[in-house]
Amino acid sequence: MSELIDNTRKRRDLLKHMILQLHSGAAAEAIKLQLKRLLGEVPYGDVVVVEQELISEGLPSSEVLKLCDIHSEALKGNISQSGIKDAPAGHPVHTFLQENAALGQAVQSMTGIFNEIEGMEEDSDAKEKMMQIHGLFNQLSDVEKHYLRKENLLFPYLEKQGITGPPTVMWGKHDETRELLKSAYEVFLSLDKITAGEAKALAEFVLKPAVKAIDEMIYKEEKILLPMCMDTLSEAEWYHIYQQTPEIGYCLYVPEIDWKPESLAAEEIEPEKSGRIMLPSGSFALTELAALFNTLPVDITFVDKDDTVRFFSNSAERIFHRSKAVLGRKVQMCHPPSSVHIVEKILCDFKSGAQDRAAFWIELRGRFIHIEYFAVRDEQGIYIGTLEVSQDLTEKRKLTGEQRLLKYESKIEGKNNGNN
């Protein structure tokens, strides 16, 4: 009969009919047999279109969400991957796939431990096995960054193309997985003692559902979502996603190769404006960056390659007074004549590459103060400035032994706000 169903519309209508049969209560296994008999392999694009049409025609997305696992199971093994585009190393899709491979390894390892627990005597001690599972769940929790990148970087571009149904359903599955992971972590809060019998019950009703949810999402991504995205998004859109990816972070895998589409004109690959200061290893809002510098337990001053003071942090307990009048001045003018020759020597040695750091320590008003200068160089090793870091080490010099338990220092009230 598959020869008779030779056009896309008929095939999609049949697929839609079968999903609606699932909605009315038909067994997934029976639908799967029908799929094999009538359709052979279903193109991944058909799955996306049909899901979108069902929502557009009035089937609530909440109902599609309930059916998602059922019709995914029915379609498993019947989704055609022919014609799928390959993603080069560094491309966001390649990164998603590598992350899935790492998640899959954690799932496989955890499944092996579950099987080992199943073979244990009911009263035997399973704490060690559960601790191993706990460690693997710590790895799986990294999936949050994987999901956040889909939700905040990938889905908006699909929605611009009018593809709203699948992202909505998949986001719902993310939230379900988050709840399952949260429940799993509550199990690990009370693991002083646990028998194999207790571990088996927890695995069956709490842990395995979370693992299964992550494993099934890997299948949905690789068989449906990512191939569709490769067909739908432009190189410029992919590059914008690539540029914003470090802001959210990676999941169990960090790409080692930079990716940039060669076919795009310079104006097409300008980063999208996010209102954040983008750095190679992350990003800041301006308020966050200012607060971070003012929170550091050190004083920082930066002098550029022309010996001009460009920045100083303004923490509540600054060691050496600084005012904004110092900004734009030559650093030599900020020191007494008796010590200018030392400043000149440090700058000269930093610029020539003869030295990279210089340290001093002094007693000041009964406090032990450590002052260190660092040569700041770019990726090519070219000198671009000097960083001065000063720190009061009086209390740290008194430390002995260890402090492994949480103990807060008394909060000091009435600190100044660091403004001049």
Q: How does pLDDT run across 155-193, given as a tens digit for each residue? A: 999 889 888 877 888 898 899 999 999 999 888 887 778
CATH number of the domain encompassing residue 315: 3.30.450.20
Q: Where is the domain boundary, 80, 112, 131? A: 80
Same domain, 71 and 112: no
Q: Do residues 68 and 169 touch, judged by C-beta distance below 8 A?
A: yes
Q: How does pLDDT run across 378-406, given as a tens digit for each residue? A: 989 999 999 999 999 999 999 999 988 88
Same domain, 142 and 63: no
Q: Where is the domain boundary, 46, 80, 114? A: 80
Confidence of residue 4 (pLDDT cuts 50, 70, 90): very low
CATH number of the domain encompassing residue 137: 1.20.120.520
Full residue range of the structural domain in which residue 312 is found: 287-398
User: How much is the average pLDDT of 336-360?
Assistant: 92
Tokens of 302: 């930066």
Same domain, 144 and 274: yes
DSSP string, 113-152: HHHHHHTS-TTSB-HHHHHHHHHHHHHHTTHHHHHHHIII
User: How much is the average pLDDT of 62-67?
Assistant: 60
Same domain, 128 and 179: yes
Confidence of residue 54 (pLDDT cuts 50, 70, 90): confident
Q: What is the per-residue pLDDT for 36? A: 61
Number of structural domains, the chain? 3
Q: Which of the two residues, 228 and 53, has the higher pLDDT score? A: 228
Q: Where is the domain boundary, 80, 107, 125? A: 80
Q: How does pLDDT run across 272-331, given as a tens digit for each residue? A: 556 788 777 778 888 999 999 999 999 999 999 999 999 999 887 788 887 777 788 888
Mean pLDDT of all residues belonging to the chain:
83
Same domain, 220 and 164: yes
Confidence of residue 81 (pLDDT cuts 50, 70, 90): low
User: How much is the average pLDDT of 3-24?
Assistant: 67
Q: Is the pLDDT of residue 48 over 80?
A: no
- 25-31: long-range contacts, CB 8 A cutoff, minimum separation 24: 28/70, 28/71, 28/73, 28/74, 29/74, 31/71, 31/74
Q: What is the per-residue pLDDT for 411? A: 64
Amino acid letter for position 139: Q
Angle at 310 between CA 309 and CA 314, to 5 degrees: 100
Q: Is the pLDDT of residue 198 over 80?
A: yes
Is 257 inside any structural domain? yes
Q: Is the pLDDT of residue 415 over 50?
A: no
